[in-house]
Amino acid sequence: MKSDLPKITRNPAETQELGNRFSENLSAGDVVFIIGELGAGKTVFVKGIAAGLGIRENITSPSFNLVKTYQGRCTLNHYDFYRLNPGDDLSELNVEALQDDDSICVIEWGERFAILHTTPRWEVRIKYSDSDIERLIEIERIAG
Ligand SMILES: Nc1ncnc2c1ncn2[C@@H]1O[C@H](COP(=O)(O)OP(=O)(O)OP(=O)(O)O)[C@@H](O)[C@H]1O
Ligand SMILES: [Mg+2]
């Protein structure tokens, strides 16, 4: 899967299922930006990725900790940088984990920080569609 045609999901379960199938492309060292407005379904998609990696814990937003770590067939770091502003100092964050080869790093709201734009990476873009529960989801591999 390099980049795919956009997909329409018709409910949260379908978004989660797409995340689950997408996870088959992932291995340790990968970085994934999950991009979309508030409530678009980013965390729902991450729940699917986690399930696909064999993680049984419930995935909830990292909020104040900014990152939560889970163990599946590989380590998953789930970041949510909603509370950070583009001018903030990221030096206290364990940003090195993004560069290491031991874990998969999935990031909500990461695209606002140039320092995080590592390549190669995946971008999953979730957009609101016509009805309340439809979403348009694009998945792209950004080459290094
Ligand atoms: N097709 C769909 N795919 C995903 N979520 C959907 C869909 N239709 C409706 N929803 C609803 O939209 C909400 C998405 O919530 P979620 O927490 O995943 O969003 P988010 O993008 O992570 O938001 P935030 O920016 O606050 O982190 C859920 O309440 C979910 O039930
Ligand atoms: Mg979220």
pLDDT digits (tens, 9 = 90+) for 5-36: 789 999 999 999 999 999 999 999 999 999 99
Tokens of 135: 């979403």
To test the pocket of ligand 1, the residue of 43, 45, 107, 130 to mutate (highest count of ligand atoms within 8 Å of its CB) is 43
Starting from the edge strand earliest in sequence, which strands make up the sheet with 67-71, in order? 7-9, 135-142, 121-128, 31-35, 103-108, 75-80, 67-71
Is 7-88+95-142 CATH 2.60.40.10?
Answer: no
CA of 127 to the centre of ligand 1 (A): 11
- For residues 6 and 136, is the Cβ–Cβ distance under 8 A? yes
CB of 39 sitting under 6 A from ligand 1: yes
DSSP, res 56: -
Query: In whole angstroms, what separates CA 70 from the centre of its chain?
Result: 14
Tokens 């045609």 identify what position?
Answer: 5
CA of 2 to the centre of ligand 2 (A): 24
- Per-domain boundaries in the chain: 7-88+95-142
CA of 39 to the centre of ligand 1 (A): 4
Per-residue pLDDT band for 3 (boundaries 50, 70, 90) equals low
Average pLDDT over residues 76-93: 86
Q: What is the Cα–Cα distance from 104 to 81, expressed in whole angstroms?
A: 16
CB of 43 sitting under 6 A from ligand 1: yes
**Of residues 87 and 122, which shows the higher confidence score?**
122
Tokens of 118: 């590592």
Tokens of 51: 């399930």
